[in-house]
Structure 1
Amino acid sequence: MLRFVPVPLIRRRSAPPPFIRHHLPLLLAPLRHLDTLAPPALPLPRRPSAKDAYFAVVHHIAGIVRRDFYLERTLGRLRLPPPTPDLVLRVLRAAAPSAPLPALRFFAWARSSSASYRPSAAEFDALILPLARHRHWSQMWSVAADMRSLSLPLLPSTFASVIDAYGQAALPDLAVDVFNRLPKFDCPQTTAIYNALLSALCRVGNFHGAYALIRRMARKQVPPDRQTFSTLVDAWCAAGKLREAQDFLEEMNRGGFKPPVRGRDLLIDGLVNAGYLEAAKEMVRRMTKEGVLPDVTTFNSLLEAVCKSGEIDFCVGLLHDASELGLCPDISTYKILIPAVSKLGKIEEAFRLFYCAVDDGNKPFPSLYAAIIKALCRAGRFTDAFGLFKDMKVKGHPPNRPVYTMLVKMCVRGGRFVEAANYLVEMTEMGLVPMPQSFDSVVDGLKHCGNHELAKRMEQLEVSIRGY
């Protein structure tokens, strides 16, 4: 006869059970075919701290706000202590992006439930932007008016986000209205606000209004930044009007407003953002022939766009030509190229780029190693992959959970089940918890090849880690 045994829904984090502490070295001794990392120096925490409990409360309240229709009644039954500004702010930041109206109800509940609670400007700012993004305009302005009645300052960044939200909703007239109402809120019209309105006008193709706004910036002596120039140049390029974009940059240059980067860099960015890759590639070719180079940020954006289109060879050649002319690639350059080259199976080229990154003084991170290791495993070169993984650990780059998971998966695909089991053990020694799918694939593979004893030991390891 079956009996129901109650199981607690929430388990506290505890020390490993005696079985795993005393018998793990004996059970897994046959797996020691590869070098492993030393056990972690710091012990795992045995129980949740007060900080963990605090954030658990924040997470629980945010879940109630997002999902409970009668959230005021549910919160009242919890008998919470008087809300603090920090608690309310964290709940609003967690719940408002996906549920702004329930978050507004929670904010009203917090203000009414405790007379000692005094909201700050941060709580209002955490509400205004989500309300604007979800196009709850009336509620947004009600919150802004309430904020003004409490003599709390509204930040220019908040108004810039509101104007940008109107622009994304294709409501440029309302964006202009917000811009004109800023003096009533004692908010300065900063460069970020001008950029937001400029983006709203360019999004609907109102270039005449955008030019008028640029002239207003000149009259008000508001200094433009790169975003100011790139917004208008991107809009021109998206409309297929490269000549107008060039004329605009020359006109601004004559007027004394020089862009913070060279004009051709902005044009390349605009062409890439608009999808005109061939025109951007041709412009870069002309620049390299003339001995002129774009800046690294522009170069990386072009490489990323061209790599996504599949022209990896062009990117490798372009990097070679640019490096000969004096371009100093940064780690982002190699972060774009190494995974792309590795995915095509060009392992030697990936190694060359990898060692170039090291020679340039960059410290490789696990994802760069992972791309090459995965390519080696796909090519069946598991010995080289294991050697590179060992080199990664020796040189002080501890692998993370995604790298281990990828390596276990590739070992299983290649029939290297014992090695995959060994890497699962390494993960546990590092304090990383393997995914259940990793254990399942390794155990199934071991059973399929007849190694039932080792498969049973891996099952025992999983049970000892997860506690069930």
Structure 2
Amino acid sequence: MLASTKNSLLFFLHRSKPQTHCVLLRHLATVNAAPQNRVVPTKDDYFSAIQHITNIVRRDHFMERTLNKLRITVDSELVYRVLRACSAAGTESLRFFNWARTHHPTYHPTTLELEELVKTLARTKKYESMWKLLQSMQTHHGLTLSQESLCFVIEEYGNHGLVDQAVELFNRAPKTFNCLQTVEVYNALLFSLCQAKLFHAAYALVRRMIRKGLVPDKRTYSILVNAWCSNGKMREAQLFLEEMSSKGFNPPVRGRDLLVEGLLNAGYIEAAKEMVRKMVKEGFVPDVSTFNSLMEAICKCGEVEFCIDLYWEANGLGLCPDINTYKVLIPAVSKVGRIDDAFRLLHNSIEDGHRPFPSLYAPIIKGMCRRGQFDDAFCFFSEMKVKGHPPNRPVYTMLITMSGRGGRFVEAANYLVEMTEMGLMPISRCFDLVTDGLKNCGKHDMAKRIEQLEVSLRGT
């Protein structure tokens, strides 16, 4: 969408001088108006204009008066982007939308802007304004909500504890919005009921869904299981899954995986660990997404050794790790200094067909530097480059910093130069670290060359 209208605005500064003080005004003009001095608008100009309008909408008490002073070509994309940027300001967003409609007759609202504004009003609990807007848009423009936006509003009612309104909207969906009560709509109401801890009503809703001939999906099970687990009702969650399974409505993943995810979402890490440990002893492995969630939660608790042992056990039982598994484990293992395990995991990921991008091998390099194994780290870094896995700016920055902390200032200087040769601009801190370190160890000529390099790059 941006490609079609990103050049529709020209953003420039104009200084006006009132009698009392000078005010800096920004103006917008269309490219079709043949801008003076042949100024060609860029993508940055376009987004600067959007940001400026957004700031006016959010902060200016006299919004409409200020906007009227700007030469703006209002179209659907501009309105949508401003509304999206003001998603936390319900009243202000509505004022801007009404201004765009009333002051620019050529602008005709579309469903995109309407739904964005409705979500903002629902999020900020401006329900009365939301309903008035919907009625006006339906009457004058024939616009209504999509199923996705309808579900969002139902869930927002639940988040704010307005369950009765959520039920009413659910019931009105077919007639008022011409929206069928699909599984997604049922899930939205189910979420609202669970937010209010109305578990019996939620369970009854699932049974009604089945009676209507709808098949529960993964989110149906996840919503109810997560809610039960969050309230310590493990037994109820397990019985529900068993009942659904006996009726032939099997979850997309095994029931115990959903229970593990429910325990993790509820913060019961130890219970989740125990359940997965029991599954592995019985010869079963969890779904890989469930396994990754468990690994991430346990690594955050600092129990990396448990994660490593569980990984190898599950791997032996046929677990097929994905790239997210290694993105969780390799940094965690490297951070605690278990470099050998980190290398084994990296090699496993390569054997699985995953390319070792920087965020996978950078933690290993950092771990080796922390242990003082700088020569090994430099060798491994070179190996990654030779094998066609070029480092990015954060990797070079990390390596220069770690080398400097370890007193390897010559190597740090070489990496800094190499970084610039690849077209990557080092941060000022790297230049300061390298030049100060070289001077302190007597390498004044090299320090001078690094200073000259910084001047040539920055132009100052």
2:7: which partner in 1? none
Taking the TM superposition and a 5 Å limit, the aligned residue runs for 1:374-389 are 374-389=366-381
Whole-angstrom distance in 1 between the partners of 2:60 and 2:458: 31
C-alpha contact 2:89 2:124 (8 A) present in aligned 1? no
Q: Which moved more, 1:303-312 or 1:102-111?
A: 102-111
Whole-angstrom distance in 1 between the partners of 2:394 and 2:355: 19
Q: Which moved more, 1:342-351 or 1:62-71?
A: 62-71
CA displacement at 1:48 relative to structure 2? 8.3
Whole-angstrom distance in 1 between the partners of 2:393 and 2:135: 48
CA displacement at 1:405 relative to structure 2? 1.9
Number of equivalent positions: 421
Whole-angstrom distance in 1 between the partners of 2:293 and 2:56: 42
1:310: which partner in 2? 302
1:69: which partner in 2? 61
1:106: which partner in 2? 96
Q: Summarize the Cα distance change of 1:460–1:90 in structure 2 as closer, same or farther, 3 Å threshold.
A: farther
C-alpha contact 1:96 1:127 (8 A) present in aligned 2? no
Taking the TM superposition and a 5 Å limit, the aligned residue runs for 1:238-253 are 238-253=230-245
Whole-angstrom distance in 2 between the partners of 1:135 and 1:151: 24
2:132: which partner in 1? 142
Taking the TM superposition and a 5 Å limit, the aligned residue runs for 1:313-352 are 313-352=305-344
Whole-angstrom distance in 2 between the partners of 1:391 and 1:332: 23
- Work out whether 1:174 is the aligned partner of 2:157: no
CA displacement at 1:152 relative to structure 2? 1.4
User: Stretches of 4+ moved more than 4 A in 1?
Assistant: none
Q: Provide the secondary structure at the position in 2 that maps to 1:338.
A: helix
Whole-angstrom distance in 1 between the partners of 2:74 and 2:441: 59
C-alpha contact 2:304 2:332 (8 A) present in aligned 1? yes
CA displacement at 1:337 relative to structure 2? 0.7
- Work out whether 1:368 is the aligned partner of 2:360: yes
Whole-angstrom distance in 2 between the partners of 1:295 and 1:313: 21
Q: Summarize the Cα distance change of 1:144–1:423 in structure 2 as closer, same or farther, 3 Å threshold.
A: farther
CA displacement at 1:209 relative to structure 2? 1.0
Taking the TM superposition and a 5 Å limit, the aligned residue runs for 1:379-458 are 379-458=371-450
C-alpha contact 2:138 2:144 (8 A) present in aligned 1? yes
2:75: which partner in 1? 84
- Work out whether 1:201 is the aligned partner of 2:221: no
Whole-angstrom distance in 2 between the partners of 1:406 and 1:67: 40
2:115: which partner in 1? 125
- The one of the two structures with greater contact order (alpha-carbon pairs below 8 A, sep at least 6) is 1
Whole-angstrom distance in 2 between the partners of 1:462 and 1:222: 66
CA displacement at 1:330 relative to structure 2? 1.0
Q: Of 289, 296, 311, which aligns to 1:297?
A: 289
1:262: which partner in 2? 254
2:456: which partner in 1? 464
1:285: which partner in 2? 277
Q: Deviations over 1:167-225 (max 9, x none)?
A: 22233222223222323122222222222221221122110110121122112223211
C-alpha contact 1:96 1:126 (8 A) present in aligned 2? no
Whole-angstrom distance in 2 between the partners of 1:48 and 1:331: 43
Whole-angstrom distance in 2 between the partners of 1:314 and 1:290: 18
Whole-angstrom distance in 1 between the partners of 2:97 and 2:453: 47
Aligned-residue sequence identity (percent) comes to 59
Whole-angstrom distance in 2 between the partners of 1:144 and 1:364: 50
Q: Provide the secondary structure at the position in 2 that maps to 1:240.
A: coil
1:155: which partner in 2? 146
Q: Summarize the Cα distance change of 1:157–1:360 in structure 2 as closer, same or farther, 3 Å threshold.
A: same
Counterpart amino acid of residue 228 in structure 2: W
Counterpart amino acid of residue 207 in structure 1: F
Counterpart amino acid of residue 412 in structure 2: A
Whole-angstrom distance in 2 between the partners of 1:135 and 1:462: 53
Q: Deviations over 1:441-461 (max 9, x none)?
A: 333333433444444443443
Q: CA RMSD in A?
A: 2.2
User: Which consecutive residues of structure 1, in runs of 5 or more, have no partner in the other structure?
Assistant: 1-9, 11-46
Whole-angstrom distance in 1 between the partners of 2:352 and 2:115: 43
Q: Provide the secondary structure at the position in 1 that maps to 2:202.
A: helix
Q: Deviations over 1:420-446 (max 9, x none)?
A: 233333333333332233333333333
Whole-angstrom distance in 1 between the partners of 2:453 and 2:58: 38
CA displacement at 1:49 relative to structure 2? 6.8
CA displacement at 1:252 relative to structure 2? 1.5
C-alpha contact 2:134 2:144 (8 A) present in aligned 1? no
Whole-angstrom distance in 2 between the partners of 1:249 and 1:408: 53
1:27: which partner in 2? none
Q: Summarize the Cα distance change of 1:435–1:125 in structure 2 as closer, same or farther, 3 Å threshold.
A: farther
Whole-angstrom distance in 2 between the partners of 1:135 and 1:452: 64
CA displacement at 1:229 relative to structure 2? 0.3
User: Which consecutive residues of structure 2, in runs of 5 or more, have no partner in the other structure?
Assistant: 1-11, 13-38
Counterpart amino acid of residue 106 in structure 1: F
Q: Deviations over 1:310-332 (max 9, x none)?
A: 21111111111111111111111
CA displacement at 1:98 relative to structure 2? 3.6
Q: Summarize the Cα distance change of 1:60–1:439 in structure 2 as closer, same or farther, 3 Å threshold.
A: farther
1:236: which partner in 2? 228
Whole-angstrom distance in 2 between the partners of 1:117 and 1:141: 22
Q: Summarize the Cα distance change of 1:397–1:140 in structure 2 as closer, same or farther, 3 Å threshold.
A: farther
TM-score, normalization by structure 2: 0.85
TM-score, normalization by structure 1: 0.84
Counterpart amino acid of residue 338 in structure 1: I
